Amino acid sequence: MAAVPYAPDDFDRAILAILQRDNTTAQRAIAEAVHLSAPAVQRRIKRLQDAGIIRANVAVLDQARLGRPLTIMVEVRVASEQPHRVAAFRRRVQDDPAVQQCYAITGEADFLLLLTAASMEEYEAISERLFGNDDNIERFRTAVALSTLKRGLDVPL
């Protein structure tokens, strides 16, 4: 079932734009920028959180400076997409800290994973625990990012 769209007004969009750039911005600074009172901004942020528009408040870390310089994309094709056949794979993906994102996709592959790793040796271990010993994994194809042109999760407002 598709998510019900939320119709933000101009104030909500302005607040969300600020929070997407830096979610530690003080509410009084947001209030000044969008020409509302701080309590009004606080109520709007709470409403956006309650509506599921703001899903998390997180820090974006520099993976290379933390010793995990590799970004790896993996396309996975399964033999069967039946829920009981992919359940164990989905759990492994959700539980594995190296998996940053995973999408069920259309096309030649069934899933697209974005991983981070410290080395190719670590990636080999990750791929073994995610794909090894699973007879439902038909194949997987790996691409290693050579450089990052853009990284983000900003939603156009």
The pLDDT tens digits along the chain (157 residues) read 566 778 899 999 999 999 999 999 999 999 999 999 999 999 999 999 999 999 999 999 999 999 999 999 999 999 999 999 999 999 999 999 999 999 999 999 999 999 999 999 999 999 999 999 999 999 999 999 999 999 988 999 9
SS3 content of the chain, % helix, strand, coil (to 5): 35, 20, 45
If one counts every other C-beta atom within 10 angstroms of the C-beta of residue 47, the result is 14
pLDDT at 11: 97
Q: With residue 90 as reference, give the H or E element that holds it.
A: helix 83-95
Q: In what order do the strands lie in the sheet with 70-78?
A: 99-104, 111-117, 70-78, 137-144
Structure-block tokens of residue 2: 């598709």
pLDDT at 6: 81
CATH number assigned to the domain covering 70-144: 3.30.70.920
Backbone angles phi and psi of 50, in degrees to 5 = -60, -35
Backbone angles phi and psi of 140, in degrees to 5 = -140, 145
Taken as a whole, the chain contains a residue count of: 157
pLDDT at 1: 57
Pick the CATH number of 10-50 from 1.10.10, 3.40.630, 3.40.50, 4.10.860: 1.10.10
pTM, entire model: 0.86
Structure-block tokens of residue 126: 């990750």
d(CA 134, CA 90): 12
pLDDT at 2: 64
Where along the chain do its domains lie? 10-50, 70-144
